Amino acid sequence: MKIKKDDKVIVIAGKDKGKTGKVLKALPAENKVVVDGVNIKKKHQKATRGGQKGQIIDKVFPVDVSNVMLVDPKSGKRTRIGKTLVKDKYVRIAKKSQTVIK
């Protein structure tokens, strides 16, 4: 999986198409990522104690990694990710601008 935590991504498919956000969590075993502000659903939560009421909370759910693309740091548009050798170490680069991604 080429997308990692703290990457800025744009959604390219689904109900949130066009939205951008930061990756909060990467789930490589499931091939999914959790993106801030994307795929928010309402979750009904039961009361945990006797006197407390139940509530409806907004929760961020994972999105399949095939539905997001990295945002190019230079242009701000979506881009593919590649790898190149720099000083005996492989680093990720944005294919459109050839910029190194942290």
Domains by residue range for the chain, with CATH: 8-72 (2.30.30.30)
Would you place residue 8 in the very low, low, confident or very high pLDDT band (cuts 50, 70, 90)?
Answer: very high
Give the pTM.
Answer: 0.85
User: What is the rounded average pLDDT for all residues in the chain?
Assistant: 95
**pLDDT tens-digit series, residues 22-69:** 999 999 999 999 999 999 999 999 998 888 999 999 999 999 999 999
* CA dist., res. 4 & res. 22, Å (int): 10
The beta strands (E) that lie in 1-102 are given as 8-11, 20-27, 32-35, 40-45, 55-60, 63-64, 68-71, 78-79, 81-86, 89-94, 100-101
Strand pairing report for 32-35 and 20-27: antiparallel
- The predicted pLDDT at position 50 comes to 85
